[in-house]
Structure 1
Amino acid sequence: MPKMSSGGRNLIRLGLIATIITILTTTISLVIYHNSGDIYLDRSRPGFLPEKHEVKHEDQPEKTYSFPESGNLDSKTLEEFRENFKKTLEDTKNLKDPFSADNLSDDFVGLKSPNK
């Protein structure tokens, strides 16, 4: 069997060290993720989201205006867009403090808490 050069040994050492570091950091991050409780809030897990038959229609967000992606662009469509834009602009202008953290609260953005 041919003798391995020191460069080959160093490459093997580098690979092993990188693999050990990867396994160690992944294990630590998963332990933190589990111990913090965030693992139980993962929305991709099937048990967290309600079933389709459990969703109440009153919990659905209000329908907001969205400009049509396709279709004819005529004066009626533009006027409808302008009216909806004016409503949104007025709501924005009526904010007391536009840079307040209260503007990001669940109630302000239209999210209802589950206990209400």
Structure 2
Amino acid sequence: MDPVTDEQFDAIVQEALDDVPAELMAMLDNVAFFVEDEPSADDPDLLGIYEGTPLTERGEWWGQGSLPDRITLFRGPLTRMCADAEELREEIAVTVVHEIAHHFGIEEETLHDLGWG
């Protein structure tokens, strides 16, 4: 894929987020989306990551002063694996759904079994 500017990538991310069903996005609770250039050196091919407390693990006092959960997309691995902007948009949407599933408490193994891994 030809290099994309930060602005072009952000626009593709917005398009991909618009592709995620609105019902699914409405179910998110205190989640912020971020874009970073590269993941840690421990997992250089990581496309995205969910960091936070899944809904299934929140108690009645959760959220009192808590920062939002984070879904981070990694520009480098995503653009390297995609041939064009359309494929990139689709891969970002799949990655977002995958990370949202973690927010709902769905484990990696289950996601793989469902074809989202």
Same fold (TM > 0.5): no
Q: TM-score range by the shorter chain?
A: under 0.3
Structure with the larger RCO, 1 or 2 (CA within 8 Å, 6+ apart) = 2
Which protein has the bigger strand share?
A: 2
- TM-score, normalised to structure 1's length? 0.21
